A and B are shown apart, each in its own frame.
Chain A
Amino acid sequence: MSKRTLFDKVWDSHVVSTIENGPQILYIDKHLIHEVTSPQAFNELEDRGIPIFRPDQIVATADHNTPTLNQDQPVKDALSRKQLEQLSENCQKNNITLFELGHEYNGIVHVMAPELGVTQPGITMVCGDSHTSTHGAFGAIAFGIGTSQVAQVFASQCLLLTKPKSLRVNVNGKLQKGVLPKDVILYIISKLGTNSGTGYFCEYAGNVFEDMSMEGRMTVCNMSIEMGARGGMIAPDETTFEYVKGREFAPKGEAFEEKVAYWKTLPTDEGAVFDKEYHFNAEDIEPMVTYGTNPGMGIKISETIPVEDNPSFKKSLAYMNFEAGESLINKPINFVFIGSCTNSRIEDFRVAADFIKGKKKADNVTAWLVPGSKQVEAQIIEEGLKTVFDEAGFELRQPGCSACLAMNDDKIPQGEYCVSTSNRNFEGRQGQGSRTILASPLVAAATAVEGKIIDITKHLN
């Protein structure tokens, strides 16, 4: 039998049929939905008189458009409120499980599903959100879809797709102190660019990923789409099984053991060939920051902005008000955001709290900490991290996507820089005219304490 990749194994086991000279019908196990990209799909089915085919395979949450303050009160913004009400109505009408605002399981779709055990190795998952790639951390095929495709999955639990090509990114060696999973993925994207993965599904391999926690793996897979790859995957192993075990929607007892036996067959066969493959040394990676308006425009924090003679590059630097060749060290920063589906899990807040403990936030900085879910929020309080944040002058808010895309009131003002643990530094992403610098939770925490970007590597023992 030919050598197969993790991706091949999961994909091939979900192919219902193949259209001659055309796409394949791929079966979808789990469909996650939220308030922003689902209403038009519900309408489409209703208009065409088509019922939802498998409502019990859909899980819904409200996250993109929710406030992060006073969640117990009615949502002030009328349009946002209407969108949330519509989600509740649609879910109720169609018997879909919904963790709405205030529910103990509410949270960002890509934080909520893994922590509830909805995400499992070997399954196919979709959501009308490009960061669905996050769930690939478990060895699942997970990818973002458009609203027309949300309607297709509603109608048939399937999608028509052409199998993507395969790509493997290997990182081996020992990571330096202060280098977090976020730095690893920002480094990879800075080397490969924002469209190197387009048309591909990416597998991350090597001891660096094997040694990572599930939280770290999720951070890495989350940003696969930022190099254009529809999804990223990491082979399931003991770390994965241990994480899934005992979670609300995970199989239990004997059923779990049977699944584990199957999951162990999924890793890429020795000698399987990828369409593209890259190798990086862990030792070369340092804490990263971005300086431009796409996630590929990243540098090591100790480096200077490159000099390029390209109109799009210059437009980007002009937007950021940075000069080619300059360093970002000592740049004053007034806003810090720790949150988003990239970095809002308990581990991210532990890293931040560990650095912040006994220090104070700089007076010029507004620092928002937005947990990824109600469960993460509860854990922050339980572990005493909230006390650390409160004492240092940081503001712990309620869960949601928040300032990552600024659909709610959490907007960075015009012209201001924000060191953010989110995933996109596009123009205006965090608010009209805002300027985003992507970084790890450690770099973000250090920026908030110092009121400016510092070379974090010089501040670690």
Chain B
Amino acid sequence: MTLRSTAIPLNIENVDTDQIIPARFLKATDKKGFGDNVFRDWRYNKDGKENSEFILNKPEYSGSILVAGNNFGCGSSREHAAWAIVGYGFKVVVSSFFADIFKGNALNNGLLPVQVSERFLSDLMQRIASNPQTVLEVDLQKQTISVVNSDLSEHFEIDAYKKTCMINGYDDIDYLINNKELIEAFEAQKIY
């Protein structure tokens, strides 16, 4: 599984899930439509007009990879944040650090969180800033992220089980239900 795409650099640290999708948009009872409001209060001014300064609104930047600052996805457990990022069209988020719950939510929605070193992230941000046409390649099988036609490349970690799930498109529910007998046996002999 390989993705080649240009990327959008969101050079801000500690992006919390309230910024990714503000609470007032959490009233829906399905998973659709959150992409329209991703980064809502950064994308739009108070008067509803697009904020031309915000990176997602700059026409030179596009692509299905979001490159973000350290500690991405901190705060609320709302999975709506992952739905919003996927809904907007991103398939990969790159950062030097992800908050736990967001990382899990991303993986459960086919959004690949790629954790890279601070150094790599900073190089990546600079390259994309100086050339928005920079193409990245993310290879899930080999667990590598690289800038195409350059020597900039890094290995990333992913839980082996989660990797298999992503590649084969099955989820934890399938696995857990197949282990129901084990779970019932555990319930019968609870020791606490």
Residues of chain A having any CB pair with chain B under 8 Å: 10, 13-14, 16-17, 19, 21-23, 25, 27, 36-37, 39-40, 43-44, 48, 50, 53, 64-65, 77, 79-80, 82-83, 86, 122-123, 128-130, 144-149, 151-152, 155-160, 162, 164, 194-195, 198-199, 225, 228, 230, 262, 294, 311-312, 315, 405-407, 414, 424, 426-429, 432-433
B160, A198: Cβ atoms under 8 Å? no
CB contacts (< 8 Å) of A405 on chain B: these are 18, 23, 76
- Give 15 CB contacts A-B under 8 Å: A16-B183, A16-B186, A36-B27, A40-B30, A40-B79, A43-B29, A130-B77, A156-B177, A195-B71, A195-B97, A228-B71, A294-B16, A427-B19, A429-B18, A432-B46
The smallest C-beta distance from B13 to any residue of chain A, in angstroms, reads: 4
Is B187 among interface residues, defined by CB-CB distance under 8 A? yes
Contacts of B77 in A (CB 8 A): 37, 128-130, 144-146
The smallest beta-carbon distance between A435 and chain B, in angstroms, is 13
Interface hub of B13, B80, B100 (most chain A Cβ within 10 A): B100
Chain A nearest Cβ from B189, distance in angstroms: 11
User: Once bound together, how far apart are the Cα atoms of A43 and B105, in whole Å?
Assistant: 17
Q: Is the CB of A37 within 8 A of B161?
A: no
Q: Are B161 and A149 in contact (CB under 8 A)?
A: no
> With contacts A16-B183, A25-B176 known, what are 12 further pairs, Cβ within 8 A?
A25-B183, A36-B26, A130-B77, A130-B101, A148-B104, A149-B104, A149-B108, A160-B172, A195-B71, A294-B16, A424-B76, A427-B41
**Cβ of B191 and Cβ of A13 under 8 Å apart?**
yes
Known: A37-B78, A414-B46. A262 touches B192 (CB 8 A): yes
**Interchain CA distance A77-B27 in the complex, whole Å:** 10
Q: Which of B74, B79, B161, B179 contacts A16 (CB 8 A)?
A: B179
Smallest CB gap from B22: residue in A: A428
Q: Which residues of B contact A145 (CB under 8 A)?
A: 77, 101, 104
Q: A16-B179, A19-B161 are in contact. Are A83 and B29 (CB under 8 A)?
A: yes
List A contacts of B28 (CB < 8 A).
Answer: 79
Chain A residues within 8 Å of B175, by CB: 160
In the bound complex, residues from chain B placing their C-beta under 8 Å from that of A195 are 14, 70-71, 74, 97, 99
Report Cα–Cα, A19/B77, bound state, in Å: 25
B-chain residues with CB within 8 Å of residue A122 when the two chains form the complex: 192
CA distance A10 to B192 in the complex (A): 9
- Contact mask B69-96 → A, CB, 8 Å, 1/0? 1110011111110100000000000000
Contact in complex: B173, A198 (CB < 8 Å): no
Q: How far is the CB of A54 from chain B (nearest CB, A)?
A: 8
Closest CB pairs A-B (n = 3): A22-B161, A148-B108, A156-B176
Q: Are A17 and B182 in contact (CB under 8 A)?
A: yes
Query: Assuming the A-B contacts A25-B179, A424-B18, A426-B16, are A294 and B74 also in contact, with contact meaning beta carbons closer than 8 angstroms in the complex?
Result: yes
Whole-angstrom distance between the alpha carbons of A294 and B19 in the complex? 12
B179 → A minimal CB distance (Å): 6
Find chain A residues with CB under 8 A from B41 CB.
427-428, 432-433
The residue of chain A having its C-beta at the shortest distance from the C-beta of B78 within the complex is A37
Chain B residues, Cβ within 8 Å of A225:
75
Q: By the criterion CB–CB under 8 Å, are B100 and A228 in contact? A: yes
- Known contacts A155-B176, A155-B177; is A162 also within 8 Å of B159 by CB? yes
With A and B bound together, what is the CA distance between A86 and B30 in angstroms?
Answer: 11
B109 CB-CB contact with A under 8 Å: yes
Return chain A residues, CB-CB under 8 Å to B105. 146-148
Chain B residues with CB below 8 A from A13, complex form: 191-192
Q: Is the CB of B192 within 8 A of A312?
A: no
Number of A-B contacts (CB under 8 A): 185
Chain A contacts of B161 at CB under 8 A? Answer: 19, 21-23, 160
The DSSP consensus for interface residues of chain A is loop
A82, closest chain B residue (CB): B29
- B3 at interface by CB-CB < 8 Å: no
Residue with the greatest number of chain A CB neighbours at <10 A, chosen from B13, B30, B172, B191: B172
B159/A23 in contact, CB under 8 A = yes
> How many angstroms between the C-alpha atoms of A232 and B30 in the bound complex?
31
Question: With A146-B108, A424-B18, A426-B19 as given contacts, are A160 and B75 in contact (CB-CB < 8 Å)?
Answer: no
Given contacts A50-B177, A195-B97, A228-B71, contact A80 B27 (CB under 8 A): yes
Residues of A within 8 A of B58 (CB): none
Cα(A25)–Cα(B186), bound, Å: 11
Out of B12, B23, B180, which one reaches A407, CB within 8 Å? B23
B24 within 8 A of A: yes
| Chain B positions within 8 Å of A157 at CB level | 183, 187
Minimum C-beta distance from B87 to chain A (A): 13
- Indicate if B171 sits at the interface (CB-CB under 8 A): yes
A136 to B127: give the CA distance in the assembly, Å.
44
With known contacts A16-B179, A50-B177, A160-B176, A407–B24 Cβ distance under 8 A? yes
Q: Which residues of B contact A312 (CB under 8 A)?
A: 12-14, 69
Q: For residue A315, which residues in chain B have a CB less than 8 angstroms away from its CB?
A: 12
Across-interface contacts of A147 in B (CB, < 8 A): 79-80, 105
Which residue in A27, A39, A79, A406 is a CB contact (below 8 Å) of B187?
A27
Residue B62 at the chain A interface, CB threshold 8 Å? no
A194 close to B192 (CB less than 8 A): no
Q: Across the two chains, which residue of chain B brings its CB closest to A229?
A: B100
**Identity of the chain B residue whose Cβ is nearest the Cβ of A195 in the assembled complex:** B71
A284 to chain B, nearest CB (A): 25
A149-B108, A155-B173, A428-B22 as given contacts; A194 in contact with B71, CB under 8 Å: yes
